[in-house]
A and B are shown apart, each in its own frame.
Chain A
């Protein structure tokens, strides 16, 4: 069964450093997302991406965040200058794009620890 894959599974970084989290969505999916979850609690929407551009973003997704689909398969989330409060589990998701009735398929997550 196809799945969303994410790397790295865990990254530890120093405050102020840049981090790139990588995702390979399911191959025939058209919509891509990043969510984050702090300490196993609420799952928070960050950004959605369709047709090579951001379609929606939350207030969390400020100028320190960016997303990119550089080669038609990978989907990346970059945090330019990490803060302590960026420590969280980051989940990538994709959906087929059957309107907005389609469910999201999530990866296993990348745990980011900012020291």
Chain B
């Protein structure tokens, strides 16, 4: 079984400050990890993914995420938050054993305060 935990329902950050959105995962094999963003009344947009290689992956809109195997984490980060980053963020996981299902976390609402 595979699962994702996003421990924070809500994260508030002042504009210009660094932001972190937390994610931990559980899979039976090696993980493929993804971050998606959802703006109000819109679909999910792909931000970035970790498959293999460098633990720090860079994605769209200046976001990056760090894979930490020992802590089974994949936290999303950005050095300087913008008001336009305010949205709902979902972490997702799939194992590398042929399973196609992508399992999502419960989401974290990020609010950037001007």
Contacts and interface: CB of A to CB of B under 8 A. Distances in A.
B99 A56 contact: yes
B67 interface: no
Interface in A68-89: none
Interface string A6-28: 00000000000000000000000
Contacts of B107: 41-43
Given A41-B106, A41-B107, A42-B106, A91 B43 contact: yes
Interface residues of B, number: 26
A43 to B, nearest CB: 4
A103 B100 contact: no
B49 to A, nearest CB: 6
Interface of B: 32, 34, 36, 38, 42-46, 49, 51, 88, 90, 94-96, 98-107
24 contacts: A31-B100, A33-B100, A42-B107, A43-B104, A45-B101, A45-B102, A45-B104, A48-B101, A50-B100, A55-B100, A56-B99, A58-B101, A91-B43, A91-B44, A100-B95, A100-B99, A100-B100, A101-B51, A103-B34, A103-B46, A103-B49, A105-B46, A106-B43, A108-B43
